[in-house]
Amino acid sequence: MTWQKKESLILVSFLLILMLAFSFSCARKAKPVRTAAEEPAEVTPPEEVTEEVKKPATAEEWEAGKVEKAELTVNDYNVMGVLKDVHFDFDKYNIKSQEATILEENSRWLLANPTVIVLIEGHCDERGTNQYNLALGERRSQSAKAYLIALGVSPERFKTISYGEEMPVDPGHNEIAWAKNRRAHFLIISK
């Protein structure tokens, strides 16, 4: 770096600091009241930038489901949680009656989206052995699958996996965490 360049840099930074200090002191002052004598500052027009502006989806498109189908990815579905978890009692893998409504909702969505393929994950709380919990998680995923099949969803649309106690949704060591962790989770893997 030459001396002149350095010098000019110092000058520029000095000016900048000055400007900042000035604007800061202005900001601290009471709100300036615009008087008629004040000339409005000249405004330079913005540089020309082309920005794609998307046309909002029309009601017709929504109705036809075109936008939803075309725009939402598998990941979007999963983040939105279109399919809800079902929860189980301690050491159990049967579907509880209060959880059945969740599976009914899930089945309705699946029947309305007939190409979606789902991986049903079975999970357990930490209070069993890893060995038995893997088998228990498997049973939970199978229970959920059987229930959805009984509600008319085709069996080929499901895969199952057990994670036992390996992937808790809540890492806590209390009844609230355990209740959340005893679950079948529905992961959409393709649509």
Partner 1 sequence: MRMKPVLIAAFALFCWTTLFYSQQQIPDIRGKIYGKGGVRIKLALPDFRPKESSETTISAAQKFHQVLWDDLQFSGIFQMVQREYYSLISPFDENRLNFEDWASIGSEALLVGNVSSQEEKLVVEARLFDVKTGQQMIGKRYRSDADQHRLIAHTLADEIVRTYTGQKGVATTQIVFVSDREGSKEVYLMDYDGDSQRRITYFQSINLFPAISPDGEAIAFTSYLEENPDLYLLRRHGGNIVRLVADLGMSTTPDWSPDGKKLLFTSSRDGNAEIYMVKADGSDVTRLTRNHTIDTSPCWSPTSRQIAFTSDRSGSPQIYIMDAEGTNITRLTRQGNYNDTASWSPNGLEIAYASRVGGIFDIFVINLTNEEVRRLTIDSGSNENPSWSPDGRHIVFSSNRSGSYQIYTMYPDGSDQKRLTTRGNNTSPRWSRWTK
Which residue, 99 or 125, is less far from partner 1 as judged by CB? 125
Given 73, 130, 154, 190, the residue binding partner 1 (CB under 8 A): 130
User: Which three-class secondary structure state does DSSP give residue 56?
Assistant: coil
What is the b/e burial string over 16-45, where b = at least 16 CB atoms within 10 angstroms of the residue's CB?
eeeeeeeeeeeeeeeeeeeeeeeeeeeeee
> Stretches 2-10, 39-47, 95-103, 129-137: which one binds partner 1 (CB under 8 A)?
129-137
Q: Does 92 bind partner 1 (CB under 8 A)?
A: no
Residue with tokens 């029947």: 111
Residues 150-189 that bind partner 1 (CB under 8 A): 160-163, 166-167
CB-CB contact of 165 with 125 (8 Å): yes
Given 110, 138, 158, 168, the residue binding partner 1 (CB under 8 A): 138
Instruction: Answer positive or negative: Cα dihedral of 61, 64, 66, 69.
Output: positive
Which residue, 85 or 125, is less far from partner 1 as judged by CB? 125
Q: How far from each other are the two terminal CA atoms of the chain, in whole angstroms?
A: 59
Given 82, 111, 128, 180, the residue binding partner 1 (CB under 8 A): 128
How many C-beta neighbours within 10 Å does residue 188 have? 21
> Stretches 2-10, 28-36, 62-70, 125-133: which one binds partner 1 (CB under 8 A)?
125-133
Q: Does 134 bind partner 1 (CB under 8 A)?
A: yes
Binding residues for partner 1 (CB under 8 A) = 91, 127-132, 134-136, 138-139, 142, 160-163, 166-167
